[in-house]
A and B are shown apart, each in its own frame.
Chain A
C-alpha cells in the first residue's frame, strides 16, 4: 500500500504540535484526540494530495491550541455578570460550552461504548476505557480533583480560567464549583455513598470513614452540604464508637483472628443498626444534588 496521507511531513509536523499542545490532557484522552485528528485528516485528504491541499485542510482542522482549548471548554458556561446567557426564565439553562450537561438526565451514566476492530484508534480507546475506570475523567475539573485529593483545587489550566470571563477569581471559582457540583457522580462518589450507607458493616469504622473521605472531599457536593451531611454525621459516629470503645463493647483486631465469623456477624449487626441513620444521610446527600441541579 502507498504511503498514507498522514505521513506527509506537514501532517506529521501538525500532529507533533498537537501532541505538544495537548501535553496537559490526561494521557488516554491525549492519545485518543491525536488518533481522532489523524483519522480526520486521513479521511479528508484525497489519495495523493498536493502541498496546497494539505495546507488548506490543516487550516480547516484548526490551530492545535484551539483544539486543545476546546477540550477545556467544559468549564462554566458563563462567569457571573458576563451577560452571555440568560438562563432561568426560559428554562434553557445556558447556551454555552458544556451546557449539554444540564440535560444529562441520569447521573453517572457517562462512559465509553466503543468497540474497536484492531485499529490504532482501538488501542487508544481501550486505554481510554481503563483510564475512565481508574477514575481519571477527562474534564479539567476531573483532573484537578484527581491530582488533588483535597478537592478544593480551582479549575484546570490558566487558559480555561481566562476564558471564564471578566469577573474576579472568586466569581470564577464559585462558578466553577457550581459547575462541578452539577456534573454526574463519578465511580468514586458512588463508592463513597455506598460505603456511607453500609459502612457500619464494612470493617467498622474503616468503611464508614473511607466513605466519609470519598464524599467529604468530592466537589460534586457544595461545601455546606459536605459539612452538614458528611462531617457532622461522621463526628457523631466517631463519638458513639469512642463510647463503645471506652465501655469495652468495641471489637479488637484479635477478635477478628480468634473468631472471624463472630466478628463478621457483629459487623453485620452494626451495619443493620446504623442503616436507618446512614440511609437518611445518603438520601439527603442525593436530594441536595437533585435540588442543586435544578438551580
Chain B
C-alpha cells in the first residue's frame, strides 16, 4: 500500500486521488465509504480517513456538491456529485493526463528524442 506520505510517489498519488475522486463521481454520485473502497483497491489512498479532507477541499473549491440521504441502515449518508465546474475540471484533467502519461511513457521507453 501507500508508504511514506512524503515520498514523491506518495505525493503524486495524493494529487491524483483528487482527480480519481472527480472521475468516479463523473459516473454517478457516491458517498465517502464507496469512494474509499475503490481508491483503496487501487492503492491511491493511504488512511481511509484522509478522503474526508480531500472531499472537503473539493467542496470548498466548488468542484463537488453534496446532499444528505437517509439510509435504511446506519446514519444518514452524505452523497457527493460533480458540480458543473467539477465536470469541466474532470474533462480537462482527462485530456492533460492522457498527454502527460503518454509523454512519460515515451521518455521511459527511450522514444523521447527525435530520431
Residue numbers of A with Cβ under 8 A of B are: 18, 29, 32-33, 36-37, 39-40, 42-44, 60-64, 66-71, 73-74, 77-78, 82-85, 89-92, 94-101, 103-106, 109-117, 119, 121-122, 125, 137-139, 163, 184
The B interface, classified by DSSP as helix, strand, loop or mixed, is helix
Contact A99 B60 (CB under 8 A): no
Contact A71 B53 (CB under 8 A): yes
Contact residues in A for B56 (Cβ distance below 8 Å): 29, 32-33, 71, 138
What CA separation (Å) do A101 and B86 show in the bound complex? 10
The contact sample of 5 A-B pairs, CB cut-off 8 A, is A40-B48, A73-B57, A96-B12, A103-B92, A137-B60
**CB within 8 Å for A97 and B14 given contacts A42-B74, A110-B61:** yes
What CA separation (Å) do A175 and B60 show in the bound complex? 21
Closest to A119 in B: B76
Contact B53 A121 (CB under 8 A): no
CB distance from B37 to the nearest CB of A (A): 9
Residue in B47, B58, B68, B74 whose beta carbon sits within 8 Å of that of A116 in the complex: B68
**CB within 8 Å for A42 and B75 given contacts A62-B46, A66-B5:** yes
CB distance from A7 to the nearest CB of B (A): 13
Contact B48 A61 (CB under 8 A): yes
Contact bitstring B97-114, A, C-beta under 8 A = 1, else 0: 101100100000000000
Contact A121 B68 (CB under 8 A): yes
What CA separation (Å) do A68 and B58 show in the bound complex? 16
Contacts A91-B99, A96-B15 known; list 20 others, CB within 8 Å.
Answer: A33-B53, A39-B77, A39-B78, A40-B52, A67-B53, A70-B14, A70-B50, A84-B11, A92-B99, A98-B15, A100-B58, A103-B93, A104-B62, A106-B62, A113-B65, A114-B67, A114-B68, A115-B67, A115-B68, A119-B68
The 8 nearest A-B residue pairs measured at CB: A62-B47, A103-B89, A109-B62, A70-B53, A70-B50, A113-B65, A92-B96, A96-B15
